[in-house]
Structure 1
Amino acid sequence: MTDSNRTLDDIRLQHRYADLGPVFGTPTAPTPLENPVLIHVNPAVLSLLGLAPETAQDPRLATITTGEHLLPGSKPVAMKYTGHQFGAYNPELGDGRALLLGEIENNGRLWDLHLKGAGKTPYSRFGDGRAVLRSTIREYLAGEALTALGIRSTRALCLVDSKTPVAREKMETGAALIRVAETHIRFGHFEYLFYTRQLEAQHKLVEHVCAQFLPEVADKPVQEQAEALLRFTVKRSAEMAAGWQSVGFAHGVLNTDNMSIIGDTFDFGPYGFLDDYEPGFICNHSDHTGRYAFDAQPGVVLWNLNALAHGFSSLLDTETLKSCLGDFQPLLIDFYATRMRAKLGLATEEEGDQQLCADLLQVLDDGRVDYSAFFRALSRYQGERPAASLESLVAPGQHENLGQWLSHYDQRLQRESVTPAERSRAMLRVNPKFVLRNYLVQQVIEAAEAGDYAPFETLFMLLQSPFDEHPEFESWAGVPPESGKHLPISCSS
């Protein structure tokens, strides 16, 4: 049997995290949902896990996803961690509605299977341990959208609805998904062990992560492993933040317990992709100070890395910590510049490219221009005057500023060696036509809550190939109406 045609019966889960010891979590049985309905199975994630495509038709997936039945070898554990939430340390955190079922190996890579919406755990505090259909749909789609845009993210294997009532701002139905990631270890895991002075356990966790992701240092002293891990996390986090800023993604709740140690986009809540370019865009209606606004994200990621570094201070001296953190800004700038040059169709690098990009963003900001639609239209720009397709996206009062920028852009393009046709093809491969806009997600959610999952299927398909034309789905690519912008999205799930 190859690693691409396994069935559910062939899965043999490993438990490398749970086997670290009881300090890292608590064995917990899931509480099943009533009358589960399997909404969707992700073919790409089936392949990641080495499962045969026919697994999507296995009726056991629905009950496995609600926790009524467990995969062979499952040992569900609620992970324990702490973290800084909106800047304040909270020691009472952990998996409050999710359970790590174990790890599955495929082609030399380990993947966590994490059941989200599993019911109460020892870390649920006053919560019910449930997820609702609304939040699970949002998470399921976000993982696919970011992955297709080349940004690391957790994903999900499958999604289940149910008839179990769940009280939020209103009565909703309970839902669940199986989240898949190479690890679910967060910044908060290291903070927990540091603040509770369980330093031997912290050393063990450093060694555990390095064994999986940095095997080249796995036989080194733990201090060397810790430095390598911190530098790795700084680099991955800078790359992640640069990716978010380039595609216009706002996470919304960048607490340290929502930060992956390997730089995956993690724990989706009130996220939002930009419609109009608005640097101060706040997607979480509970974020009254704008701590997690779109343009604040790189700074918050660095703040969180500082919190992580403090947790490493039992292993590394101050100068080493400062050196590791000092890597962040130049890495962020380089990753962001590379992505934005690609969006602008610039195959070569020049000193003035950063200013060219900044000037364009100012035009978009001044005119409240739709971010994704503009870059998609720019992908077909050939130097024409008037630039009708671009001007149609910009308020008339900003046409002069747009024209001035286009003149500078034209001069820059003349120093490129690629043909206009080559440049256009390259830009169309990085500037998406289809974007996970909140108004589209809301339409999909409302249809699903009424029992119609066809819009969900359509949006899922489009997000997996967002650069393709899909002319029959043109209405899904439109700029949202005013009523579709700034929809209030909360943390509740």
Structure 2
Amino acid sequence: MTTTNDITDAPALLTFDNRFAQLPPAFYTRLQPTPLPAPYLVGFSEDAATAIGLDAAATRHPDFLDVFTGNRIAAGSQPLAAVYSGHQFGVWAGQLGDGRAISLGDVPAADGAGRMELQLKGSGQTPYSRMGDGRAVLRSSIREFLCSEAMAALGIPTTRALAVTGSDQRVLREAAESAAVVTRMAPSFIRFGSFEHWYYNQRFDELKILADAVLEQFYPALLQQANPYKALLSEVTRRTAELMAQWQAVGFMHGVMNTDNMSILGLTLDYGPFGFMEAFDARHICNHTDSQGRYSYQMQPRIGQWNCFALGQAMLPLVGSVEDTEAALAGYEAVFEAKQDQLLHAKLGLTTSRPDDDKLIDAMFAILQNGHVDFTLFFRRLGELQIGNPTSDEPIRDLIIDRPAFDAWAAQYRERLRAEASDDGQRRLAMHAVNPKYVLRNYLAQVAIEKAQQKDFSEVAKLQAILRRPFDEHPEHDKYADLPPGWASHLEVSCSS
């Protein structure tokens, strides 16, 4: 059992640098992860490993488990926890920071385009743990691991997850649970709250240092703009607006869109009480801690904009004027609406846009809302509709209570398809390429978690393999695309999930 953080050169693994450690010491605290006894491998993503040039055989390296649990420190790694602040549920929370995550540093991306930072989530207490134990539990770690990789496979910007390691050490949540560590990856984990921290502490020199580092490392082309800080705010706003549209299009709900959980790179960041829409309800709240519904499905686009305005407030001393700040933020709604329109047309198999398309789309969502129709199955089965064969509608009609309402809508939809001479076969292929058959439903994750808690990690691996190709048919795994069982309606996720 490893009890101290030994140094290893880990030649078959990775050699680290740490760009964030080049910032002044006020930005972070250097510290070692807290070792976990007898770690074991729960899950590993070959796709994430490939992104950093790590071979799958690395899991057999004698140092793998210790390095990616925090028991050993790899060559070049300068472990640290970053400080940031943020608004939580719309209220200024003050200083936060990496309370249970420690950055190991960064490594070159395999494609030669930049670097990837690796972070251990659940690796022990830091100065920012705020009375917490700094640990993560197996339950939440598996959820983050699976969803990070599932979102990447859906083509949605996200942090990645390289591995989950577990330990029999117990930590206390609502009950005692086993500890785990997720190794997650991103070009950077800098957040909106990283900027807010310096603004609200009136430390504008540090604010500028942070913005300059972000520009130089991730947005170098913006340095040529007359006002690079205004350009940075505008670009982050654009990326955030597009990300919100992408979430809405697959029915993904983040659950806790605090400003400290918003990526300065426009990535999906910090998987906690997330969920994918099943029985459609625009008011659905996936986080049972969110009693006011601030982060419900229908609120996500507006909260994304609110968070951009919070970032704009923090960047005001750099941008220089309220007018320029407002101008940088002004594009959010148009970008969101354009991206949402593009994605919904693709989901419906429409290759052109027409003036009355919004009425067709609104009528469709009314049917989904009134009948609480399964979101993923509806769009997937809609791809099977044939213009001249109404009997092809039966699999969709099976999902819907008010079938006359659907039939009336389907007649309008067919007319719209005929208007652009849509071909059934081509449209089916196009729709199935954007409407996943498989998403990480909560009950599927729960089954994998319960098996893993018994040291059976086969379901984690199976789910990962299916979700790696979510648009494929996988007929041998059809049951993973079924409506959720009755018991799934009792599942709840919260900020401890």
TM-score, normalization by structure 1: 0.96
Q: Is the 8 A contact 2:13 2:64 kept in 1?
A: no
Say if 2:413 is the partner of 1:394. no
From 6, 15, 20, the equivalent of 2:18 is: 15
- The aligned counterpart of 2:296 is 293
- The aligned counterpart of 1:217 is 222
Say if 2:423 is the partner of 1:419. yes
Runs of 4+ in 1 over 6 A off after TM superposition: none
- The aligned counterpart of 1:51 is 54
From 349, 369, 373, the equivalent of 2:373 is: 369
**Inter-partner Cα distance in structure 1 for 2:10 and 2:151:** 28
Paired letter, 1:332: F
Q: Secondary structure at the match of 1:291?
A: coil
**Inter-partner Cα distance in structure 1 for 2:459 and 2:312:** 44
**Inter-partner Cα distance in structure 2 for 1:25 and 1:463:** 35
- Superimposed CA distance per residue, residues 409-433 of structure 1 (whole angstroms, 9 cap, x where no aligned partner): 0011012244210000111111111
RMSD: 1.4
Mapping for residues 52-67 of structure 1, pairs under 5 Å: 52-67=55-70
**Inter-partner Cα distance in structure 1 for 2:70 and 2:101:** 11
Give how far 1:73 is off.
0.7
- The aligned counterpart of 1:207 is 212
Paired letter, 1:465: R
Paired letter, 1:159: V
From 446, 450, 453, the equivalent of 1:446 is: 450
Say if 2:354 is the partner of 1:353. no
TM-score, normalization by structure 2: 0.95
From 328, 337, 340, the equivalent of 1:336 is: 340
The answer for unaligned runs of 5 or more in structure 2 is 1-8
Task: Rate the CA distance shift 1:77–1:325 in 2: closer, same or farther, 3 A.
Answer: same
- Superimposed CA distance per residue, residues 201-246 of structure 1 (whole angstroms, 9 cap, x where no aligned partner): 111111111112221233667xx22111111110110111000100
Deviates more, 1:129-138 or 1:353-362: 353-362
Say if 2:156 is the partner of 1:143. no
From 112, 115, 125, the equivalent of 1:110 is: 115
- The aligned counterpart of 2:249 is 246
- The aligned counterpart of 1:408 is 412
**Inter-partner Cα distance in structure 1 for 2:284 and 2:67:** 38
- The aligned counterpart of 2:466 is 462
Say if 2:129 is the partner of 1:121. no
Paired letter, 1:393: L
**Inter-partner Cα distance in structure 1 for 2:439 and 2:342:** 21
- The aligned counterpart of 2:189 is 184
Q: Is the 8 A contact 1:283 1:486 kept in 2?
A: no
Say if 2:317 is the partner of 1:314. yes
- The aligned counterpart of 2:173 is 168
Say if 2:494 is the partner of 1:490. yes
Say if 2:36 is the partner of 1:33. yes
Q: Is the 8 A contact 1:9 1:72 kept in 2?
A: no
**Inter-partner Cα distance in structure 2 for 1:143 and 1:458:** 15
**Inter-partner Cα distance in structure 2 for 1:437 and 1:121:** 33
- Superimposed CA distance per residue, residues 297-350 of structure 1 (whole angstroms, 9 cap, x where no aligned partner): 001111111111100111221111111211000000011111111110011122
- Superimposed CA distance per residue, residues 6-61 of structure 1 (whole angstroms, 9 cap, x where no aligned partner): 98546332221111111111001110111100122211111110122322322322
Deviates more, 1:164-173 or 1:319-328: 319-328
Q: Is the 8 A contact 1:94 1:123 kept in 2?
A: yes
**Inter-partner Cα distance in structure 1 for 2:432 and 2:13:** 41
Say if 2:236 is the partner of 1:236. no
**Inter-partner Cα distance in structure 2 for 1:330 and 1:147:** 25
Q: Is the 8 A contact 1:343 1:427 kept in 2?
A: yes
- Superimposed CA distance per residue, residues 145-196 of structure 1 (whole angstroms, 9 cap, x where no aligned partner): 1111111011111110101110000000000011100110000000001111
**Inter-partner Cα distance in structure 2 for 1:487 and 1:339:** 30
Task: Rate the CA distance shift 1:225–1:486 in 2: closer, same or farther, 3 A.
Answer: farther
Give how far 1:481 is off.
2.1
Deviates more, 1:208-217 or 1:261-270: 208-217
- The aligned counterpart of 1:282 is 285
- Superimposed CA distance per residue, residues 240-294 of structure 1 (whole angstroms, 9 cap, x where no aligned partner): 1000100001100000000000110000111110111110110111110001111
Q: Secondary structure at the match of 1:111?
A: strand
Q: Is the 8 A contact 2:380 2:436 kept in 1?
A: yes
Q: Secondary structure at the match of 1:406?
A: helix
Q: Is the 8 A contact 1:207 1:225 kept in 2?
A: no
Q: Is the 8 A contact 1:434 1:477 kept in 2?
A: yes
Task: Rate the CA distance shift 1:488–1:68 in 2: closer, same or farther, 3 A.
Answer: same
Say if 2:81 is the partner of 1:94. no
- The aligned counterpart of 1:385 is 390
Paired letter, 2:208: H
- The aligned counterpart of 2:3 is none
Give how far 1:434 is off.
0.9
- The aligned counterpart of 1:227 is 230
From 52, 74, 78, the equivalent of 1:75 is: 78
- The aligned counterpart of 1:3 is none
Q: Secondary structure at the match of 2:144?
A: helix
Paired letter, 1:320: D
The answer for unaligned runs of 5 or more in structure 1 is 1-5
Q: Secondary structure at the match of 2:58?
A: helix
**Inter-partner Cα distance in structure 2 for 1:58 and 1:379:** 45
Q: Is the 8 A contact 1:161 1:173 kept in 2?
A: yes
